[in-house]
A = this chain, B = another copy of it.
Amino acid sequence: MKKILLIEDHEDLRENTAEILSLSNYEVLKAEDGKEGLEMARKERPDLIICDIMMPVLDGYGVKNSLQKSPDLSDIPFIFLTALADKDDIRKGMRAGADDYLTKPFEGIELLKAVETCLRRKDRHQEALTRRPARDRAPSATGDTTADQPFDLTGREIKEYRKKSLVYAEGQRPTNVFHILKGKVKTYISHTDGKELITRIDGPGAFIGYTAMLEDVNYRDNAQVLEDAELILIPRQEFLQWMGSNGEIVRQFIRLLARNAAEKEEGLLNLAYNSLRKRVANGLLQVLDGFRTAGAGADAIDISRENLAHVIGSATESLTRTLSEFKEEKLIDIREGKIYLLNEGKLRNLVN
């Protein structure tokens, strides 16, 4: 029997909800506030947590955030309960890693459906990740997993994307991991007031969309095509099975994730303490690095000022101004809107 932990400070709603769940043959644990809920989660390891957002002392976000810190609790499916149906709140919840969102007041049927979906999802994810599918060849005697089938992307479905089309968007459930064959794709997160921050610009050879997939949550960011692109789609199920069965691929993706985090930390430092000038310089280098893949030895940066500004988190005007400065200082050249770096070394070593 599945155990569900219900954290809700209003007695009526709590009892009511518990009742509904019990009737559907779930074991229900009840907690009256965030703190109690956290303790209970740790002790009981429920299969699912339903949690109110607005609570005294420790609110729903706090609960979720605390759980995230323990590797063994972070993957318990989590449903937020809330009176606020504000889009921004929902996004906040999703970003915190919630699996679903129920807006009060809700019907019993809604609740049960959400619960079932979450539980099923988790099971499937786990199953996919741990199953070792039958192999063509017998497993080696040593149990060595390194030499499993290599990372084979040939002969797969290729999908073409036009410029400006969305590869995926915030809030969607990841159904594919994408591998870029051609073109450029930007990945960005959006800010409340419409501004966006580009977290990466990827070219051929890169994988995108795997983070959310691996964490088993909905996308928290968006991916949009900058230049007509061809992507290989790797379906969820297949990707997870790979990860579950092939040690080498797991290793590679773990590295990718770790590197990703490291890159982002650099970005944080950059945004926190660097002057606009330095941020622009770093941005240029970063973007160019992204463009220089494999054979495509790009030497010019050809993206809109707006996008470039969003890479470094500044206003477009500020960017333009700085670019003009750089141009005067002969650090870069601008022809037909494209930016050519004339002195990479100097750009890299700019003082703040």
Contacts and interface: CB of A to CB of B under 8 A. Distances in A.
Interface of A: 35, 38-39, 42, 54, 57-59, 61-62, 65-66, 68-72, 74-75, 95, 97, 126, 129-132, 139, 143-146, 151, 189, 191-193, 195, 197, 199, 202, 205-207, 211-212, 214-216, 220-221, 243-244, 247-262, 264-269, 271-273, 285, 288-290, 292-295, 297, 299, 313-314, 344-345, 348, 352
Pick the most buried of A71, A221, A294: most chain B CB atoms within 10 A of its CB.
A71
A299 to B, nearest CB: 7
Given A42-B294, A145-B132, A70 B205 contact: yes
Contacts of A272: 191, 195, 197, 271, 313-314
Contact of A289 (B65, B257, B292): B65
B129 A268 contact: no
B289 A95 contact: no
- Number of chain copies forming the complex: 2
Nearest to A243: B254
A58 B197 contact: no
B74 A256 contact: yes
B271 A39 contact: no
Q: Which 5 pairs from chain A and chain B are nearest by CB? A: A272-B313, A71-B252, A215-B258, A264-B264, A257-B257
B129 A262 contact: no
Contact of A294 (B39, B255, B262): B39
A260 B189 CA distance: 15
8 contacts: A35-B297, A39-B295, A57-B297, A126-B251, A129-B251, A191-B272, A215-B259, A271-B272
Contacts of A214: 254-255, 258
Contact of A145 (B54, B130, B253, B292): B130
A255 B66 contact: no
